Amino acid sequence: MAKIILQGIPVSVGIAIGKAYLLNRDHFCLGPIQNISEDLVEEELKRLDRGFNITISHLKELKSRIPSEQTEYASIIDSHIMMLEDPKLKNAINKYIKEMKLNAEWALEKGVRDIEKSFKGIEDEFFRTRISEIKLLSRKILGNLIGAGDELKPIRSRVILVAHELTPADTVEIDVSKIMAFVTVLGGKTSHVSIVARTLGIPAVVGVEDVENFIVDDQLIIVDGFTGRILIDPDDEEIAQYIEKEANFDKYKRELFQERAIPGKTKDNFSVKVMANIELFEEVSSVIDYAAEGIGLYRTEYSYLYRSKLPSEDELFEEYRDLISFMDSKPVVIRTLDAGGDKIGKGFEKLEESNPALGLRAIRFCLQFKSVFKTQLKAILRACVAGNGLLLLPMISGLEELKEAKLVLKEVKEELRREGKEFREDVPLGIMIEIPSAVLMAEALAKEVDFFSIGSNDLIQYSLGIDRTNKYVSHLFQPLHPAILRSIKYTVDVARKAGISVSMCGEMAGDPFCIPLLIGMGVDTLSTNPHSVPGVKRVIRMLSKKECVELLEKVLKNNSVKENNKLVKEKIFDKIPEELTFYTSFFAK
C-alpha cells in the first residue's frame, strides 16, 4: 500500500504515474521588519519601482518567447502585466513606505495582505482565485527587490509538477510538454492551473493541503484526476491497477474523440444540443475540436479584469465579432458582465461592500453604471451581424429589473442608429435563472425573453444557502436535492408553456447523474466545458426519453436527497456503467 495517500479536489480528469518535481518558492524570506528614516523614504519608493519594472520586463520577455499557437498564455501574461501597472496595487504598498516608514520588502508584504483582505467574502471562485496571482506576482517582485530573482530549476524529463500554487507565467517559464500532471495546494476549478491542465488534457488536483511537506523531488507518486487522490510511494499492486485504469481511460478518450461529431440524440430520437462554456477567446479551438454545437455561455468578465481603463466599444466589438465569425453559423451565447466594480477597471475603488457576492454585481452593477452596460451592449449588437449571436443577462431577480435592462437595450439601439453603425435588431435575448426569486417569477419573466439559461451552480448555492467552496458545508451542495429538482422542473415547464427554449449551463449539464433527469424534464441544451462534450453526447445516446421521464417521475415523489441519489445511481449504473467509471467521482457530488 502507498506510504501516504493525500486528498484534493480533482479539476482535470486522467491518471498520471511519475516522479515529482517540486516548484519550491520558499528560497528567501522577509527577515525582521525594518523601519526607515524619513530621508530614506524616496529611495525605498524608487527601489519598489525598480522591483515592479524588472518584474514587468521579465514578464514581457517571457511573452516574447511564447509560440504563436499558445496565445492563451500571452493573454494571461498580459493580465499580469496590467495588474502590475495598475496604480491601485502600487499605491497600496507605497502608503506603508510613506506613512509607516517601512522598507520596500515589508511594505510589499503589508500592501498585498490588505488586498487579500479585500478579496475575502467574494463568493465567486473565478475572482477569489485572482488573489493567488497577485500574491505570486508579489513574490516575483520581492525576489527582484532582494536580488534573489525567481528562476525555476530546469525540467529534464517528464514529471508531475507539485507546487503551493502555479501562476500562468510559470506555465510559460517551464516546458509544459514535460508535465504529466499538476498538484497544488491552492487553486479551484476556475483557476488558471485548472484551465491550462484541461487545455493540455492532463490530470490536475488542487486543494491538497500541505502537499509540499509530504513529497520530495523525484519521489514516485500517482495522481488520480478522477477522485483527487495523490498516492505517495505506491506499491507494485497499486501501480499495476492505475496503469490499467490509465490505459482504459486513454482507450475511452480515443473512442469518444472518434465519435465526437455524432449528435446527442436518445434511443427514441429526442435531440439535445450539447454546447460549450468558455471564458477565454483562445478556448474556442477546443469548442471546435470537441465538436460542440455552439457556445452555450461566453463569460465576458476576463476582458475587464485589472485594467487601468475600461475596454472600449470597438475593442469589445472586435473580440465578440471574431468569436461569432469563428463559430460560423453555430450559436454563441454572450453573457453580459457578471462582476462588481472592484474587479473591472479604474474608477470604482470607492465601492465598499461587506458581501460583494450579494451586492452590486452583474445586472445590478450594469444598471447602476449604465455607461459600462451600454458600451458592452453596443459591442454585442454590432458583433451579432457576423453570425448567430445571442444576448444573455445574468442575475435577474425580478420583472422590474428585466424591464429596466430591456429599456437600456432599446436606448442602445436608438443610439446605434443615430451613430450610423450597423447592428442586428433581432438579437435573441435570454436571462440566467440562478436566483430563487427568478424561479418563482419565471412565468412573468418568460413572456419578456426568448430563452432561459439555468445556472445550476448558483441556483443550488443560493437556494440551499451553501458555499460550495467551504470545506465544512460543501458536502451539502446537492444537485439532486428535491427543492433544486422541483425548481428546475418548474422553470422548464414554464418555458415550454411560453414557447421559449431552455438550456442548462452549470455543472449539472455535465453530470451523468443529472443528465437523465434533465432529459426527462425536456431541457433543450446542455452546455459544459469543451472536453466533456463528447462524453455528454454519449450518455444522451445511451438513454431513451421515455425511461428518463419515468425516472424523473419517481425522483420528484421523493423528499430526501439520500433517496434520490440512491435511485438515480441504481438506474444510471445499470444503463451506462462505462461512463460512470470515468465520470462519477469527478462530477457527482
Alpha-carbon distance 215 to 185, whole Å? 12
> Cα separation of 482 and 504, whole Å?
17
Residue 505 known to be catalytic:
yes
Per the CB < 8 A criterion, the answer to whether 512 and 539 are in contact is: yes
Q: Give bridge partners of residue 431 from the DSSP assignment.
A: 393, 452
SS3 179: strand
384 as an active site residue: the answer is no
Cell, residue 327: 463559430
CB atoms within 10 A of CB 352: 9
Cell numbers placing 44: 525605498
- 431 phi and psi angles, rounded to 5 deg: -130, 150
What are the distances in angstroms from CA 114 to CA 39, 92, 145, 199, 232? Answer: 26, 8, 20, 33, 37
The gap between the terminal CA atoms of the chain, to the nearest Å, is 27
Taking the C-alpha atoms of residue 50 and residue 44, their distance in angstroms, rounded to an integer, is: 10
Q: How far apart are CA 233 and CA 239, in angstroms?
A: 10
Contact 50, 108 (CB under 8 A): no
Distance (Å, rounded) from C-alpha 86 to C-alpha 144?
A: 19
CA angle 287, 291, 295 (to 5 degrees): 45
- Distances, alpha carbon 220 to alpha carbons 24, 179, 268, in Å: 18, 14, 49
Type of residue numbered 334:
I
Q: What cell was used for 108?
A: 510589499
Name the H helices within 327-465: 362-368, 370-383, 399-419, 436-440, 442-446, 456-464
Pick from 539, 534, 549: nearest CA to 575: 539
Distant-in-sequence, close-in-space partners of 494: CB < 8 Å, separation ≥ 6: 442, 443, 446
From the candidates 192, 366, 514, 531, which is the catalytic residue?
192
Question: 10 — phi, psi (to 5°)?
Answer: -75, 125
**Under 8 Å between Cβ of 298 and 333:** yes
Closest CA to 533 of 511, 556, 510, 549: 510
| Structural contact between residues 392 and 300, judged by C-beta atoms closer than 8 angstroms | no
**Which amino acid type is present at position 46?**
K
Chain-centre distance of CA 515, in angstroms? Answer: 21
Q: Which of 366, 505, 514, 548 is catalytic?
A: 505
Furthest-apart CA atoms within the chain: distance in Å: 81
Q: How far apart are CA 5 and CA 238, in angstroms?
A: 12
State the pairing for strand pair 295-299/451-454: unpaired
Q: Which residues of 61-97 are buried (b: 16+ CB within 10 A; e: fewer)?
A: ebbeebeeeeebbbbbbebbbebbeeeebbebbbebb
Catalytic residue set: 192, 505
